[in-house]
Homo-oligomer: A and B are copies of this chain.
Amino acid sequence: MTTDVSDSRAWRKLQKLAQNPYDLAAPGALGQEGRIAELICASADLRLFYAAQRVDGDVLAAFQDFADEHRLVERFKEMRRGAVINKISGWESENRQVLHTSSRDIFTDRPKEPDSARQATAELKKLESFLHEIDEQNQFTTMVNVGIGGSDLGPRAVYEALQAHKLESRQVHFIANVDPDDAARVLASIDPSRTLVSVVSKSGSTLETRTNEELVRSRFEQAGVDPARHFIAVTGKGSPMDNPEKYLRSFYMYDYIGGRYSVTSMVGSVSLGFALGAEQLKAFLRGASEMDDACEIYKVTDNMALLLALLGIWNHNFLGCPTLAVLPYSQALHRFPAHLQQCDMESNGKSITVAGHPAPVKTGPVVWGEPGTNGQHAFYQLLHQGTEIVPAEFIGFLDSQYGEDITVEGTTSQQKLLANLMAQVVALATGRQHENPNKRFSGNRPSSMIIAPRLDPLNMGRLLSLYEAKIVFQGFAWNINSFDQEGVELGKVLANRFLEHMKANKKCGTSVEEQFLAALYK
C-alpha cells in the first residue's frame, strides 16, 4: 500500500529543490511581494505564519505531490475510522486501532468510528455525573494525579496552561517520578480529608505509579482517611486496578489510545474536569475535535497540521537540522514543550519502517523548548549564532489570560511579548551584516509562528490536536509506526535485573549489573 520515502518521486524532487532553498537573508526576501501575508494557513481561530520558512511555490507544490503520492490525508482518515495501523507487517506487534481522535468525536450524530466514540461518550457521562456529585458534596478542593509519562505530562501541561480558567478553590497536584522526594513534596502540601487521588495507569501495573500509589495510600491511612473513599482509578477495563473495593470510582481508557495521545481521553479529562468543570472540559474537547476535522483537508496549504508536518520534514531531512525548538510566548504553556517532546519523540524516534525494514531516511528530530521571552535570555544565543541550525515553532496569543497588564514606555506587556516573538522570527530569518564578525548574524534560520486570539480551553484543544496530527502525519510520511514504544522495553528489563541484584545484596560478581552495583555502593 505505502512505499518507502526513498522510492518517492516527490522526495527526489524535494532533494533537488533543497540544493537551493529560498534565501531569507537576501535583501528584501522575507517581505517580498506580500510573502508575509500570503504564507499564512488559517484553521478555526489558529493561524500559522510560515513566511520565515525556506520555502517557495515550487517547494509547496512538491509538498502537495508528496502528500498525494503517500496518501497522507487518506491515511489520517483511515486512522480516524478505525484502521489497524499500530503494527509492523510480518512481525509480532501491537496490532491495534489508533483512535485517540474518537475520545473527542462526541459532538456529532455521525462519529467517524461509532464504537469507540460511544465508549468515549459513556465515560464522559460517568465523569460528568461524578463531577456533579462532588460539586454537591463540596468536600474536595484538591486532586492528586498519580501517573507517569502519558498519564502525567499531557494532563499536567494542559492543566498548567488553563489555570487561569479553573474553578475557584480547586487545584490539582501531580506525582509522577519514582523519586520519593516527588511524592513527599506534594504530600506535605495537602489535606487528605479534602483530597481526591486519581491513579492513572492503563495496564494497572506501571511500576512508578504502583509505588507512588502505595506511598500515598499509606499516608492517607496514617491520617485516618479511608483511601477507598478518596481514590479513583483511570485504567483499562478489567485491569488489576479496576476494583470497586479499592476505588471510589473507575474511569476507563482503551487499548486503541496510546498514552501520549490520551490527554482528551479519561486520562486527562478526570483531572481537567475536576479543575475546570464539565463545560470548560467540553470546550477543550470540542477544540480538539474541530482540528481533527480540519486535518482531513487535502490541500496542503489549507491543512495546518499537514503543512506543519511537511515543513518539519523539509527542515529535518532536506535542510539537515537535527532538532526542533517549540517556543511558546506564554508562561502558562511552560510544560507544553515537555508534552510535545514526549508525543513527538516517543512516536517518531524509530529506526524501522512499518514493513520492518531499516528506515531509509532520518526519522523524528529531538524536540525541546522553553517559554519566551525567558529563552531569549538563555539559549537563543545558539539559535542566532551557533553552528547548529535549530528550526523553531513559536506560539503566541493576541491577548493575555488574566487581563492584568501594565503599560510601560507606551506598550503593554502583552504587546512586548508579541513584539519580541516577531523580532525573533525576523532576526533568525534575515540575519544582519556587520563589520565586526562577532556582531554578524548569518540568517536563514527557519521558523514558524502559530497565533491564536487567547489561550483558553477551546484554543488549547485545537493546539493539542494540531500537534498530535502533525506528529501522525510525519510518521505516515516516514512510513514508521508512530504508535508503539518498543524502545523503552529493554530499560525495563535491565532495571528489573538491577533490582534483583539489589535485593540479593551480594557484594561481588562479574555481570555488568554486579560490577556497576559494586562500584556504586563501594
B377 x A150 contact (CB < 8 A): yes
Interface centre among A351, A367, A410 (most CB of B within 10 A): A351
Chain B nearest CB from A395 CB (Å) reads: 12
Given A181-B401, A378-B346, answer yes or no on A420-B93 (Cβ-Cβ < 8 Å). no
Q: Does any Cβ of B come within 8 Å of A376's Cβ?
A: yes
Q: 1/0 per residue A410-426: CB within 8 Å of B? A: 11111111111011111
- In the assembled complex, 9 residue pairs joining A and B whose CB atoms fall closer than 8 Å, in A order, are A36-B516, A179-B331, A180-B414, A206-B377, A348-B382, A349-B379, A356-B437, A411-B502, A423-B493
Q: Does any Cβ of B come within 8 Å of A20's Cβ?
A: no
Query: Which residues 476-522 in A have Cβ within 8 Å of B in the complex?
Result: 481, 484-499, 502-503, 510-513, 515-521
Q: Does any Cβ of B come within 8 Å of A400's Cβ?
A: yes
Q: Does any Cβ of B come within 8 Å of A184's Cβ?
A: yes
Q: Does any Cβ of B come within 8 Å of A149's Cβ?
A: yes
A416 x B211 contact (CB < 8 A): yes
Give the segment of A284-292, A297-305, A385-393 that binds chain B.
A385-393
A331 x B181 contact (CB < 8 A): yes
Residue of B nearest to A405 (CB): B180
Q: Does any Cβ of B come within 8 Å of A322's Cβ?
A: yes
CA–CA, A378 to B491, complex, Å? 13
A178 x B341 contact (CB < 8 A): no
Q: Known contacts A338-B370, A345-B386, A364-B386; can you find 12 more A-B pairs with CB under 8 A? A: A177-B371, A177-B374, A179-B330, A181-B402, A183-B404, A322-B366, A350-B381, A350-B386, A352-B438, A363-B386, A380-B487, A426-B512
A491 x B330 contact (CB < 8 A): no
List the B side residues contacting A422 at CB < 8 Å.
Answer: 494-495, 498, 513, 516-517, 520
Q: Does any Cβ of B come within 8 Å of A253's Cβ?
A: no
Given A349-B383, A416-B207, A485-B381, answer yes or no on A427-B491 (Cβ-Cβ < 8 Å). yes
How many residues of chain A have a CB within 8 Å of chain B? 153
A503 x B385 contact (CB < 8 A): no
B218 x A503 contact (CB < 8 A): no
Q: Does any Cβ of B come within 8 Å of A203's Cβ?
A: no
Chain B nearest CB from A47 CB (Å) reads: 8
Q: 1/0 per residue A327-353: CB within 8 Å of B? A: 001111000001001100111111110
Chain B nearest CB from A371 CB (Å) reads: 6
Interface centre among A259, A331, A347, A408 (most CB of B within 10 A): A331
List the B side residues contacting A150 at CB < 8 Å.
Answer: 377
A420 x B495 contact (CB < 8 A): yes
Query: Which residues 254-294 in A have Cβ within 8 Å of B in the complex?
Result: 259-260
Residue of B nearest to A31 (CB): B512
CA–CA, A250 to B451, complex, Å? 41
Q: Does any Cβ of B come within 8 Å of A88's Cβ?
A: yes
